[in-house]
Structure 1
């Protein structure tokens, strides 16, 4: 027997892309997952005011936990844990499960299915290496369905690790900002690669 809502749509999800959570201590988070457990940092997305109005600047960084799955964290610049009125809303948006699909056709199939239901798609966006749709499930949990825009490269891994190291340095600042993060990342690039340009490719 076919369950309600499973009409003609073929099952196209390919498992977990990532699970995401907020962090208010990125230095400890990176030290724990990367340096203690050995989960490599494989991607980092930085955003200057991306998202809803008055959304704080943030960095979203990802650890490879094997089998193509990733564990991700959001760090919000300028937000004090447990002291800021924006914390409950940020926690709701940060905590989510992302499901992987392979193609835009698959993604649009799921968007159409959501839009025909009581839970329409709330946002569709392309950010750096993925395109995603977002919906809040009947329990109030945010869900993302995401598909790759391109293959992840060695340069992406290099950039992610530079981002992680820059974030660890800037998070120690009494007033960390995204601008300070970008400046520190530029310094690290100059320190590590100015004498070895052949190691960095932007092709």
Structure 2
């Protein structure tokens, strides 16, 4: 066993689903001033009937992040009963994957530390349910006694400035297309390509600095 019994370095990210990505970006980025620092365009992930989605992250300081999932083609639920409720109640037709995407991610420093937590969990009543490498991190997942998903994650490598720029292009494109009826992942990728072309001339003069 490693010397320290407490290897977690803090919250990596807390994650929530959103029906309103444009409003989410306005609130966290434009009003609160939290920059977009990462995004994942997940096309064809999960079971066959799982929709494409964007998973996007804001830097909230102290190397911590808050993240959101936006699912393409998912009709917004009636949230009127849950307005103001931190555990926002959704209607009975809201897919389980939408509700279950809320989770807490804890950060550790190394693969050894991640595997130590895997050992502890696998020896407990709450064994690891998934271990996944996705883009810049490797994570293990389980559910706590209350049914909440808990993720423990470690960085596979540093996130580059180019990836920060890509995240900002992705989220700007998402905000642009979400008002279009029936928008898809393909619409997002097309708009992102258009933004690259539109901004290319400015980048030639100043360099590709994220807005």
TM-score by length of 1: 0.89
Q: Which runs of 5+ in 1 are unaligned?
A: 1-5
Consecutive aligned runs of 4 or more in structure 1 exceeding 4 Å deviation: 6-9, 83-86
* Distance in 2 between residues matched to 1:104 and 1:92, nearest whole Å: 29
Q: Distance in 2 between matches of 1:106 and 1:53?
A: 34
Once the 2 structures are TM-superposed, how far is the Cα of residue 10 of structure 1 from its aligned partner? 2.4
Cross-structure match for 1:145? 152
Give the 3-state SS of the residue equivalent to 1:166 in structure 2: helix
Matched, 1:12 2:12: no
SS in 2 for 1:29: helix
In the alignment, what sits opposite 2:76? 81
SS in structure 2 at match of 1:139: coil
Aligned to 2:191, which of 175, 178, 184?
A: 184
Provide the C-alpha distance between the structure 2 equivalents of 1:85 and 1:53, rounded to a whole number of angstroms.
22
Within the candidate set 20, 23, 31, 1:25 is matched to 20
Correspondent of 2:56 among 61, 66, 78: 61
Any idea what SS the aligned residue of 2:195 has? helix
Aligned partners of 1:101, 1:22: CA distance in 2, in Å?
Answer: 24
Q: Of residues 84, 90, 98 in structure 1, which corresponds to 2:105?
A: 98
How far has the Cα of 1:14 moved from its partner? 0.3
Given that residues 92 and 141 in structure 1 are in contact (C-alpha distance below 8 angstroms), is that contact kept between their aligned partners in structure 2? no
SS at match of 1:65: strand
The Cα offsets for residues 40-68 of structure 1, whole Å up to 9 and x where unpaired, read as: 00000110121244221100000011111
Contact persistence 2:40–2:55 (CA under 8 A): yes
Q: Tell me the residue number matched to 2:181.
A: 174
Gaps of 5+ in 2: 79-90
What is the count of residue pairs matched by the alignment?
196
The CA deviation at 1:140 is 0.4
SS of 2:116 mapped into structure 1: helix
CA shift, 1:200, in A, is 4.9
**In the alignment, is the contact (CA less than 8 A) between 1:18 and 1:99 conserved in 2?**
yes
**1:92: how far off?**
3.1
